[in-house]
Chains A and B, each alone.
Chain A
Amino acid sequence: MNSFGGMALRYEQSSCRLELKGFPDVSAQPLGVDGRPSLLAILTSWELNLGQRASLQGKREHLEALVETALPYVRSIVSGVRHKQTSKTAVVILAPRGRGHQLQLHSSQPNIPPLDLQLDDAELADLTQCLDQMLLDPRQGLRFEIPALKPQKLVSTGPSMQHWAAPAVAMAAISVCALVAVFLPIPKPINPTQTTEQVQKR
């Protein structure tokens, strides 16, 4: 906490640093051990530093958009599918690109082209770690909406022929067997009064 009563929270990984700046809501929260409010409840600014490549700043809405895009995207990778994710306001887009991931950020100011970044798996993991740490930090009282992690219905990317081949062969085999059984001659009933010799002669 600085001399003006502001607070800063920082989350760091090798290639990613997220810093939140703001103020505690003095009226709404109990005081900490040292007699000062301990929860950052009003976000004034945030900064995401992705190594030496980009430094992003924005308002609360932009951070919310990043959270609502990045976490479902990571969730889709953990499930073995890579789905493009776009925030509700279309400010942040995360999509697979090559062996890595494309992070596209659209500025809310006019005439500014979108920032396009290529992240590798390690950088995406670092970003996820920073966002996770922020969301789970007990010093942060911003009440972000955490995207629901519902089970997904996975669609297999394999060729459909492989899926249908086995049942189709099984059905064909059953049909052939049934057809053969229909054309087989029905054995004539044996008269119980006939002797074994008579039957053999016949």
Chain B
Amino acid sequence: MERLDLLLLAIEALDLHGSEAMLWSCEQLDLQEAFPNRVALWKSRCRNPLRRTSSRGEWNLKEQDGLIKLVCSLSQRLYPMLRQLLCSSEPDELTAQRWALFQERYNDLISERMNLKRGAVRQLLDEKCGAQRRLEVIQTLALCAGLGGMQRLGASLMDGGK
């Protein structure tokens, strides 16, 4: 549950208009039954237990599939940016600047919306663990971009506890 929300958070960190893009994508992907408006999408994302104001309950199948579709579709849109972050042939300085910008926005969003008392959230903001977590998030977005990634992401969410 928290994984999908954190992926959407990373998308927001990469794209300043990410939240608007999510609404627009909901229309494009025909997800209006699951997320008819901004509030419904926000409520759905608030099921993440790491949120500062999290709401109880599980996602229904439509909501979960909708969020997976949304993540994969937005990742496809941001694929050039994801690729730049992961590419080793780009100049190191430029890559470091890109990562620093992403880190700043991502950490700001986490501090703003997540419950900072939770160990998992503190780990995300941690100097050492945080970098690895951010890399994993960007890798997941890049490898799940597009239609083909939907099955991969969906299956990985069903994995046994890590």
Pick the interface stretch among A38-46, A117-125, A183-191. Answer: A117-125
A125 CB to closest chain B CB (Å) equals: 4
Q: Which residues of A contact B (CB under 8 A)?
A: 14, 71, 74-75, 77-80, 99-100, 120-122, 124-126, 128-129, 131-133, 135-136, 149-154, 156
Q: Which residues of B contact A120 (CB under 8 A)?
A: 86-89
Contact A125 B82 (CB under 8 A): yes
Q: Which residues of B contact A14 (CB under 8 A)?
A: 83
With A77-B143, A79-B156, A136-B148 given, can you name 9 additional A-B contacts, CB distance below 8 Å? Answer: A71-B152, A78-B139, A80-B156, A80-B162, A120-B87, A122-B84, A125-B83, A125-B143, A129-B79
A-B interface, 5 closest residue pairs, ranked by CB to CB distance from nearest? A132-B148, A151-B158, A121-B86, A149-B155, A122-B87
Within 8 Å of chain A (Cβ to Cβ): is B91?
no
Among A75, A78, A80, A133, the one with the most B-chain Cβ atoms within 10 Å of its Cβ is A78
Within 8 Å of chain A (Cβ to Cβ): is B66?
no
Contact of B160 among A126, A132, A152 (CB under 8 A): A152
A138 CB to closest chain B CB (Å) equals: 12
Complex CA distance for A154 and B155, rounded to whole angstroms: 13
Q: Which residues of B contact A (CB under 8 A)?
A: 79, 82-84, 86-89, 136, 139-140, 142-149, 151-156, 158-162
Complex CA distance for A77 and B155, rounded to whole angstroms: 12
Complex CA distance for A122 and B138, rounded to whole angstroms: 10
Given the known interface contacts A122-B142, A124-B143, A126-B83, the answer about A132 and B159 at a Cβ–Cβ threshold of 8 Å is: no
A and B contact pairs by CB, cutoff 8 A, 14 listed = A78-B140, A80-B136, A80-B162, A120-B86, A120-B88, A122-B84, A122-B87, A122-B142, A125-B86, A132-B147, A132-B148, A135-B148, A149-B152, A149-B155
A196 CB to closest chain B CB (Å) equals: 51
Given the known interface contacts A122-B83, A149-B151, the answer about A128 and B143 at a Cβ–Cβ threshold of 8 Å is: yes
Q: Which residues of B contact A124 (CB under 8 A)?
A: 143
Q: Which residues of B contact A125 (CB under 8 A)?
A: 79, 82-83, 86, 142-143, 145
Complex CA distance for A122 and B143, rounded to whole angstroms: 9
Complex CA distance for A71 and B156, rounded to whole angstroms: 13
Complex CA distance for A121 and B139, rounded to whole angstroms: 7
Given the known interface contacts A75-B155, A121-B139, the answer about A154 and B160 at a Cβ–Cβ threshold of 8 Å is: yes
Q: Which residues of A contact B88 (CB under 8 A)?
A: 99-100, 120-122
Complex CA distance for A77 and B147, rounded to whole angstroms: 18
Complex CA distance for A35 and B86, rounded to whole angstroms: 45
Complex CA distance for A156 and B161, rounded to whole angstroms: 9
Among A132, A135, A151, the one with the most B-chain Cβ atoms within 10 Å of its Cβ is A132
B102 CB to closest chain A CB (Å) equals: 15
Q: Which residues of B contact A153 (CB under 8 A)?
A: 159-160
Contact B159 A129 (CB under 8 A): no
Contact A128 B148 (CB under 8 A): yes
A118 CB to closest chain B CB (Å) equals: 9
- Nearest chain B residue, comparing its CB with the CB of A128: B143
Contact B144 A78 (CB under 8 A): yes
Given the known interface contacts A100-B88, A122-B87, the answer about A154 and B148 at a Cβ–Cβ threshold of 8 Å is: no
Complex CA distance for A74 and B140, rounded to whole angstroms: 9
Q: Which residues of A contact B153 (CB under 8 A)?
A: 78
Contact A152 B142 (CB under 8 A): no
- Nearest chain A residue, comparing its CB with the CB of B3: A80
